[in-house]
Amino acid sequence: MNHLTDLPVWAAIPVCILLLLGSAITLAGSMGLIRLKTFYGRLHAPTLGASAGTILICLASMITFAVLQNRWIIHEVLIIVFVILTTPVTLMLLGQSALYRDRIEGSNDVPRKATGEDADTSAADI
Amino acid sequence: MRYWFPYPLLSLSLLALWLLINQSLSPGHIVLGTMLGIAFAWVMVNLQPDKTRLKTFGRIVILTGHVAVDVVRSNIAVMSVILRTKTRPVNSGFVAIDISLRDENALALLACILTATPGTAWLEFDRQTGVLLIHVLDLQNGQNWIDLIKRRYEAPLKEIFE
């Protein structure tokens, strides 16, 4: 990682700020996994890392390598796009399975299905 | 024209993706990327996705701006909720919203927006009744959330897609 010392100070400062902010937000999200007590609350915590954390760290990476190699580097944008496109899939899967299980167990904390009786059949063909 | 280029926007974005991954604008990569873009658009025809036409491009820009602001705001909000769990109990809950969007692509985009803004999680959408169930981390007033999502996201998405 010696070439990182070639980074001029004017670029190093924003890169450091972005990196520290991004990792602090991701850390806060991970702390949320411990601190929040319900499963549904915990669903929210990792999205901190998936949205702001990813964006800030990718920005830092873009600036670093753009300055070091002296050209525009924008393919990190793809990481941001793909992370944002794919996180809903896992989140919805986790959320729906939790919801399904809570309903089967008859938990009172979850809202009933609007259509009532056919909760089982409609959940099967999702 | 439609036969050869069934999904021009998809082909263009695939070309952009190819050029970004290869980090070059050389003619060879442009030709290869164009060919791949057209070939994958033909594959999409067999998947038969819902055809939607984007109506207003100005609306897309405004919506993107709103989402960017909301992502920043909700990140700060969720962070403060997590860091203050010791002193302030977390008040989270479910919110059911009547959504009149039916277009699959618009719904997918709404899911991406709701997930990208921390503090709201998409749980379930009932296609028959059009009821969307979301979970909100910092729930003060359920009606506020319903109004916010309907006004800020659903209305522009409806304008763009339907």
Write out the residue range of the structural domain in which residue B43 sits. Answer: 8-47
pLDDT at A125 over 70: no
Q: Considering its fold, how many domains does chain B have in total?
A: 2
**Cα-based angle B79, B82, B85 (whole degrees, multiple of 5):** 145
B94 and B27 together in one domain: no
If 0-12 CB within 10 Å is exposed, 13-18 middle and 19+ buried, where does residue B65 land? exposed
For residue B3, being part of any structural domain is answered with no
What is the pLDDT, as a whole number, of residue A19? 93
B75 and B95 together in one domain: yes
**Minimum Cα–Cα distance from B23: chain A residue:** A75
Chain A CB contacts of B79 under 8 Å are 25, 28, 48
Question: The tokens 């009149």 sit on which residue?
Answer: B100
Residues of A (64-93) whose Cβ lies below 8 Å from B? 73-75, 77-78, 84-85, 87-88, 91-92
Distances (CA, A) of A48 to A33, B16, B81: 11, 28, 12
Instruction: Give B132's contacts (C-beta < 8 A, 6+ positions apart).
Output: B96, B97, B98, B99, B122, B124, B125, B126
B79 and B41 together in one domain: no
Which residue in the set B23, B108, B135 is minimally distant from A40, CB to CB?
A: B135
B23 and B65 together in one domain: no
Which residue in the set A32, A48, A91 is minimally distant from B121, CB to CB?
A: A91
Nearest chain A CA: its distance from B64 CA (Å): 13
pLDDT at A10 over 50: yes
How far apart, in whole angstroms, are the C-alpha atoms of residue B30 and residue B18?
8
Chain A CB contacts of B131 under 8 Å are 114
B17 and B95 together in one domain: no
For B121, phi then psi, to 5°, come to -125, 130
B133 and B101 together in one domain: yes
Q: What is the mean pLDDT of residues A4-18?
A: 86
Q: Domain residue spans in chain A?
A: 8-110
The answer to whether A114 faces chain B, any CB pair under 8 Å, is yes
pLDDT tens figures, B14-25: 888 888 888 888
Nearest chain A CA: its distance from B117 CA (Å): 7
B42 and B110 together in one domain: no
Please, are residues A22 and A57 in contact by the beta-carbon 8 Å criterion?
A: yes
B85 and B140 together in one domain: yes
Lookup: tokens for A35: 């601190």
B40 and B61 together in one domain: no
B41 and B82 together in one domain: no
For residue B112, being part of any structural domain is answered with yes
pLDDT tens figures, A86-107: 888 888 888 889 888 888 888 7
B19 and B86 together in one domain: no
The whole-model pTM stands at 0.78
pLDDT tens figures, B57-110: 788 888 889 888 988 888 888 888 888 877 777 788 888 888 888 888 888 888
B33 and B75 together in one domain: no
For residue B28, being part of any structural domain is answered with yes
> Is this complex's ipTM strictly greater than 0.90?
no
